[in-house]
Structures are given as structure tokens and as C-alpha cells.
Structure 1
Amino acid sequence: MRRWNNLTYQSKLMLAFFMLGIIPSIVIGTMAYFKSVSTLESRVNADLGVIAGQLNAAIQRQVEDVDRFSTFPYFTPEIFQILNQPYVPRDQWGYREIETQQQFAKLLVTYPSIFSTIQGLVFYSTKGNIYGYRVSDRSSINEAVSPVDEEWYKETLKRSGGVFISGLRLERQFNSAPFPTITASRVLLNDDFTPAGVVAVDIRPDFMDKIVRSFQLESMHVIVADEKGELIYSTQTGDNERFLRAAAEQSSHSGTSRGLINLPDLGGGLAAATGVYAHSEYLGWTSYLMIDREELLGDANVIRNFTVVLVLIFSVAAAVLSLLLARNLSRPIRSLISSMRDVERGLFITPAAPPVQGEIGQLHLSYVTMVRRLDVLVQSIEEKERQKREAELYALRARIAPHFLYNTINSIRMLAVLQQSEGIARLLQSLNKLLHANMKLDSELVPLSAELELLHHYVRLMELRYTNRFKVEWQIEENTGQAMVPPMILQPLMENAIFHGSFDIEGPLLIEVGARITGNGGDELLITITDSGHGIPQDTLEVLNGEREQGPAPDGDGNAGSSIGVANVRDRIRLRFGPPYTLTLKSGPGQGTRAELYLPYQPEDGDTSRPRMEE
């Protein structure tokens, strides 16, 4: 931001026009590119979703056929008779055991020829006998191999007669090299529902390759994983495990049986790809159909390259145009800047008219008018400053009268002291204090102790005028004297209490003056002046509290003057400290009057914390 502010107006204009020429082309090209990419991906993903569902259904049908085939022993009672025969070690076989094996082999030979996807059958009797048949090489059973510890066998036993479809595994049960297979197995139950054995049907994994070829998915990467996420089938070689982990992680986050997948470039020959996945609840398998993004977005990249060329063309055109416009606009502005510098030096010289019209011409005319008015205003200000200095000299002369009166009363007081008239001397001293305080009325703040001392002098003068008509009680909380308050703020309230409170009452008027620290944190000073007079009517009280405007002046009771004094005190507090600090009057007919001043507690030393009170 600082660098931008330091640029010249011409540079800013050139950059602005340049950006206005480039940004639209970039935005339009980018939007067109991403829109075409989004549309293309949406259509491809929709098509892939349909294909993935069909692929899953075709694989599931093949496995369902094998599942149904695994129930054929229930239709061949001879198989259950053989499975329930007691176990005899091979080295102890006689004619009966050999005949049983041959009979079982004849039963098994017939069925695998019906299903070309089957490459072997194995029966595990609960008595310990193992019978099997392999389609390709007729290998015999390797009785040294036991499936008890293999995962597929444990899962089969848990199903209690239900089918279990394993992932890709190596079959080692025959006396030949282990071969990859997918096993469909189930527990065979006798008529009394006791286990007779386990039948395991070995399925050729390449049946999925035939299904994929039938769908003509040569340009796509097809992956099938079991329920544990382990690879069963892939159309491409390479690091399929890492590819599968990344795809499975995305599909697991969606929590649905079908969805979209977008994989970044994983490196090691695994380019960025997009596609879909479909999960089979029956098999527990997940099929992934992926397509290379570069291949998918080939046409969209043509649009992108075309956009880049357009942006370059528009950039050159915008640069030339912005340079020309910036020069034409900045030339009259530089002329105005030169004139402004002359004005800064006090030379009110107007520049020549610019060669261009329009907004720049109007700006020039407005500037010329402003310079001429500034010249007039400067001359006017100089004249007002001269008149202000003359007024200050006059005010200085006017203040000689209060000083002369103050000095004269002070001389009279000294004469009363010399003549031993102590009462007159004290009264003159109190009057002198009031005059001195009035001359310092423009002071910022004074200590409350000084303000209370001044109030004592005022009470002393009022006692001379209203002898035995009032009595003042002082309830000043300790440590409040250091609080700073506006000067001459209590005298108008005491004056109102004496003049209006003592009017037409029997006996002397009682006036209480109090000061204490309040507030939750001890940050507020409350000063009260309470009298025991007749009180103030409600409508007059509302005027004194500023709740409504004052009407015509009352006849003869002096309330109009008291309203001015109270309003002055309240306005001084509000202007000085702001809300919620103010003056509030509380009264009622026959209940007396209470003036409450709410001020912030500000000690004389600047510490605003509440002082520690003595018990």
C-alpha cells in the first residue's frame, strides 16, 4: 500500500488502465476454461458412475453364480456321508478309504466344468478329512497345509452357514505351486444343523479382466479392492497400492456407496486422475474407475492456450492505450500541482487555463475560484486577528475593576483589624475570599477542601443577612477533601437552599452538607446539600432537572433565577466529565429538597483509586 501511495498520478492511471484491459480478458478466459472443465468432468463422471455400477453388477453376478454353486452339496447326500466319516491317517488307508476318495473325486469332477470361473474345490471335514479337486492339473491334496489359522477360514466359521467371499489370496492346499485365487466358502450343516465341514470354491481372478474388456474400458484405470482395501484387480501395473490408498481415503470420507474421486499427481508415474467409485454391499468390494486428467482435459487445454494468447494481445493493447491516456490526464494535473505549491508559499497566483475541457476544465475553474476566495479569506482573517487583539486589550482593562474592589475591601478589613472590629474583619475576609474565587473561576479543577472552605465563608456572610434563620451541619467523609471538583460549584446550591428553603417556615432551616465516596470500585464522589424546607413542586422540579423546558418566569418566588444557577452547575458538570455525571434535585411538597452531585473521584495527586477509609 505504501508503494502504491508513493507512485505518481500518471503511473497510477497507467496501471489502472492496464489492469482494466487485462483483468476482463483474464476473467473471461479463466471462467470459460473452468466452465468447460467443470462441464466436461461432470459429464464424464456421470458416465463413469453408470459404468461403475454396471461393472459392479457384472462382477457381483459372477460371484453370485459361484455362491449358488457352493450350495450344491445340499443336493448330493453322498457328500455329507463322506464328510461325516471318521478320520483315518493316509498311511493306514485301506480299500474303503481309497474307494471313498475315488467316489468323492467323481462327484467333484462334474460341477467345475459347468462354471469356467472355478479353478478348484476343497472340502474340510469336521472329522479332519480333506477332499479336493483342481481343474487345471488334477493335483492331489497337500494334507500338511491346514487352513485353521487363515483369515478366510475364521471368517467362514463366523458366518454359520452363510457365504464368505475372500479377497485375493494364494491357494496352497494342493501339491502344486501356489496360485492366486478368490475363495467363496461356507459351512455345510447336517440335518440336525451341526457342522459337517467347510466347502471352499476357488475362483479365477481373471474373470474380472474379461468383464472389463467387455465394457471396452481400455483408456481407463480400473481397480477393484476388497473390504480391507487390499488390491484384487487392476488394469495397470505400477504402484497400485499407493494409488489405492489415496483413492480409498477419499471414498471413506464421503460415507456413501458411490461418489467422485479427484486424485493429485502422486509421482512415480501416478499422474493426476479423476473418476468414480462404487461399493458392493454383497461382496464388500469397491470398484474404482479413473481417467487421466491430462487425457480428459485435452480439448479444454486448447481453450486455455487460446485464452493465454488473447491475454497477451490485450495486455499489449492496454499498455499502449493506458500510457497515452495517463499522459493526457496527468499534464493539466501537474500544472495544478505547480500552482498549489505557489499558494503554499503565500503566492495566490492562478494557473493558465488547461488545453482540455470536461472534468479537468471544471476542476481548473473550481481551483481558480478557490484560490481567489482563499486570498479574500486570508485578508479577512488578518483583520479579525487585529480586532481580537484589540478586544483582549479591552478585557484586560475591564478586569482592573474587580482587582481594585478586591484590594479596597482588603484595605478596609485591615483597618477593621486595627480598630479591633473582629466580626467586621471576618466578614470582610469572607467577602474577599468570594471575590478572589470569582476572579479564578476559569480554573480547571480545585480540591474539594478548598471548595468547602469557600462555602464556609459564604455561609458566614449569609448568617449576617439571615440571622437565626438557618443552621448548617457538615457531614464530610474523611479523605474526600483531596478530590478535585470544578470551582464555585457548591455556592449556587447553598444559595438556593437558604433563599428558597427558609421561606415561610417555622423555626430555623436545617441544611446538611455531605460528601462521600461511592461506586463499586470507589471511583465516584457524591456531594449532597439537603434542606428541611417546604420542597419544590413537581413541575418546577422537572424544569430544574432539565426534564422539560422552562415556561414563563414565576412571579416573585425567585425560581427562575434558581433555575439558571442549577442549570449552570449541571451543564458545567456534564461538559467537564460527560455522562453519567450530573446534578439531580429530589424533592416533594413538605419533604424538603436534596441536591445530589455525581462526580468522578479524582484525587489531587492523580491517583483515581479509592483511599483507604479509617474504621
Structure 2
Amino acid sequence: MKKILSDLLKSFRKISIKTKLVLLLTTQILIPLVLVGFLSYKNSEGIIKENSTDYSRDILHMIRLRLDDYLDNLIQISQDLLYEEKIYEVLKSSGNIQDPLRIYEIQNSVNSHLKMMVISRPEIRSICIYSNDGRMFYQDDNTREAGSRSDLPYEKMFAQARKENGKPSLYVVADENKRAKDVYMIRQINDRDDFDELGLLIMHVRKELFDEVYQGLTGNLENIMILSPDMELVASRNIVNPNIMESMLNEGISGYMGEKIDEKAGMFISYITQEMTGWKIVSYVRLDVLYKDARTLRNNIIMLCIAAVIVLSAVTLVIAVNIVKPINKLVNGMKKVQEGEGNVQIEVDREDELGFLQKTFNEMSGEIHHLVNWVYREQLTRKEAELKALQSQINPHFLFNTLEAINWMAQLNNVPEISETVSDLSDLMEASIGRDDRLITLEEEFQYADKYISLQKRRFGDKIELIKNVQPDVLGIEIPRLLIQPLIENAVYHGIERNRGRGTITLNAYRDKKGCLCVEVIDNGAGMEPEELEELNARLTLDNNAYFRGLGGNRRKSIGIENVNRRIKLFYGEQYGLKMESMVGEFTKVTIRIPCEVNMDNREGFYVQGSDSR
């Protein structure tokens, strides 16, 4: 079983997403629809059967009541005959009267009474009184249906009447097909004193009488029949189906009332029993007629399911295509990227989650393209730098020895200005070339700034001045080498040099409220235009990825404010860096904000190699 489920799961995984969506959505809608349809059909079938059962019972009950009335009327007729004195006297005399004239008068009187009874009672075709001594009194309505007195099965009638012991009963004469030809009410005539048998009363009942009991009552029940206890067909509304008669003869029906479904005959049968006669009043209807509405509902549900499957399949297919199409675009785009095609972009035509994936893919593809080009350009630049370094490599010791020789010559020739200048230049070159340690204290960095100002004073004289306001507790904080000197250089070239008056550079260092080191380089130079200041600050706030992506193919040969800002962000993090403030003709202030302590794991030192403009 597990293997079968595993194979099915593997097969399902191989199916395309579109097919999965079609199957899933169709199944989710079709299964509830089929279940609702099936339950509706079965419920309708049950309701129809229940309603038919109740309706059949009501109709059969009404027919039985009518039949009871007819039978009560026949019983009343027989009762009147039994209590007729002339008839009783004739039967009582039983041959004691010898006078022929008296016999004739009595017979004539009885026959006249019987004749009158037959004529006045349309439900009676003939009346026969048969005495035990063989005398017979007989009158009919002079119709062919009345039959002949010689056709009566007296012996069988006597036997049945004796079983009832004076109670009326019905006797049915049927043909070989169990269909009633004549119906008689028979009753034993007993002596009023000692209840001895005197004779037999036979009334030939008009058989059409029994067809009238269901007239106007059957409604939709077209098939009605009345059966004797021996399953003889007494009356029927329509031509009786041979299958139903065969079912009745073979299986019979028992009980006072009930219902059953005869699958073989294809009938739904209901019946009720007339108590006096034991006759069964039966109604039956074909199952295809009974369940016509239910089957119509079933066919409609099937057609609805088929139509729903078609419509839902079409809708599901459209939805699946709508979902799968952008996924295929993503897949094709990924294949192109995998094959090495650069900057692959797909059309974004959605605003949902798939649209977000498309936008993200385009951004990712562009980012990959940029990173690949950036790495490629970086490798080329690194190769060129290595070549230039090899071409222009000079032994630092040789350079320092040469500067030291110049220094000694200046001292020997008593030229202290040259000696001081060479000494300051030597110190700055040593800082630029660098030592093994990547971090220096803030105090050392300020010494380099002093050396640089000292060199600039050889050029500008008293026109330039450096003022330092430094908290003593920050001098020991370590920072990357040459982080402040380029800012002072920038202030000299773009501030003081353009100012005709005395130039002052103020250097402030302190801890802010958050415990970070803040270094301010302020000059009283020409200042910056607001537009230029806003543009520069915008570039300073860019993260490294956006900054380097914006560089494009521009080659930068010197350093400056932006380079120092990048070094800070790369070394300390994106939240640190430079901020500039300026006012035209007044001042320019550059503020460095960095943490006082730094984790050296995975840190890189970045060194400034020249100057740059604001």
C-alpha cells in the first residue's frame, strides 16, 4: 500500500502545475457537487415514496369505506329477506302444506316479493332461495348477465355458508385466469327457535357495483384492483398488468395493510383489507412512473455536473494559465541567467505575489549583472594597480635616506626652514606609506595634521592657522590612519585657498551623548552653494551598494571627502560616516562620527591616496 501511495505521489509530482491546478480545483468543486446531487436525489426519492405511500393509504381507505357501505347495503337486503314472514313461513313449513292451491299462493307471494326486491334494488341481478327439501324460489332482472339458476354451484355455496354459520359472505365465480365472472352474497337461513338450517339465500350481485367504489377517488392512482382471498380478480380500474397478477399469485400479500416494492414486476404496491370479506383493495404504480420526478431530478443533476465540469474546467484552465504563465516567464528568465546571459529582464504585468516575484527577479538579475561587472572591473583595476605599483616601486629607505641627506645639508648650510620642511614631509610620507599597524591613536592622527599645516604655512605663511579643541580622554582612541588629514587638506584647497583674508581651520574632538567619537573640521572659507551641499550630503548618505553601483565606469584617481566617508562606512558600518554643513561666504564644517571602540574581525583598512573635490 505504501509503495502504491509513493508511486502515485511521484507521478503527481511529475505533472505540470497547470494540470495539478485543473485537477485540484475541479475535484474540490465536483466532489461536493456530486455529493449534494446524490443526497438530493436520494432525499427526493424518499420523499416521493413517502408521499405516494400516504396518498395510496388515504385513497385505499376511502375505497374500503365505500365498499363497506355497499356491503352493508347488501347485508341489509339479505337481512330484510330473512325477516320476511312469507319466506320464513314457506321454509318453516318444509312440505307440511299439502294443499296445491295453498302451495301456489305461497310460492306466488314469495316470488312476487323477490321480484319486487330485484326490481327495486339495481345492485341485485337475481335472488334465489333454496330450501333444504329442494324447493327453489328464484327471480332475476331478465338480463343476460343474470345468468341461469342451473349455473349456480349450490353445493359449494352451501359449504361456504355453513362455515359462516348464518353470517353473510361473498362467493366469487372465476374463470381459469382467476378473473371473477360473477359475485354472489350467500347466507345460511336458520330456524329462529332452534337455529336449525332451513335453507340458503343467494343474491347475485351486479359486478359493476364494485367498479363504482373507486370512481372519482383515485386521482393519479390509475391502477386499482380488488382481489378475493383466493387472489381472484373481482374488479379493476384498468387492464391488469400480467406481471402484477403473477406477483400476486406467486407471492401473495399478507397483513391488514401495507406497501412493498416488487422489483421483478417493476411496481410499487399498496393494499388494504376489507374486514368482512377478506378482500384486498390493491393499488399499484410502475416504479418508473413513481420515480419519474426523482429520475428527472437525477438526470438534471447529472447534466448539471457535466456542464459544471465543462465550465469549471474552462475557468480552471484560464486561472491555471494565468498563474502558470508568469511562473514560466520566471523559469525561462532563470534559464537565461543560468546560460550566462546578463541583465535578463522579464515583463511585469501583475500586482500580486507573482508580480512581486517578477519584480524581485528583475532586481536580482540587474544586481547580479552589476556585481559581475563590478567584480570584473575591480579585477582589472587591481591588475592595473599591481602593474603600476611594480613600475613605480621605490625603496622607502632610499627615499627617507635622501630626505635625511637634504635635511643634513640644510642644517650644515644653516637653512632651518628647508630642514623643517623636509622633516615634516618625511613624516607625512611615512604616514602615507604606512606601517604594519592599521590603526593609530587620535593623538598621532592630529600630529600628522600638524605636520601638514606646518608644510602649508611654508606656502601661505601667517594666512593659515589651525586651532584644536580636543577633549583629553579621546586622544587615545584608535582610528584608521589618515582619516582626518584629508579633510584638513580639503579645507585648505577648497576653503582657505579661495579666501583672501586670514584662514582659520578649527579642529574639535569630543564624545557625543551616545558615546561616539565626533571630530569636526571647520574652515572659514568660501563655503558651498545650497544645491551643491544638498547633492554632496545625499551622496554621503548612500549605502555602499548604491554608491558603488552609481560609480559606473568612472575611474577615480584621488581621494577626498567621499572616499573618507566610504572608508568609514566600510570599516565601521553604514550608520556611521560624514556630515557636511556650509554657508556661502561664512564657513564649511565636516563632522566625523565613529564608535569609540571597534571589533577588528573582518575589518579592512582603506587608505587615501590623493585629493578630491567637494
Bin the TM-score by the shorter chain: 0.3 to 0.5
TM-score calculated relative to the size of structure 1? 0.44
Of the two, which has the highest radius of gyration? 2
TM-score calculated relative to the size of structure 2? 0.44
Q: Give the number of the structure whose residues are more often helix, by fraction.
A: 2
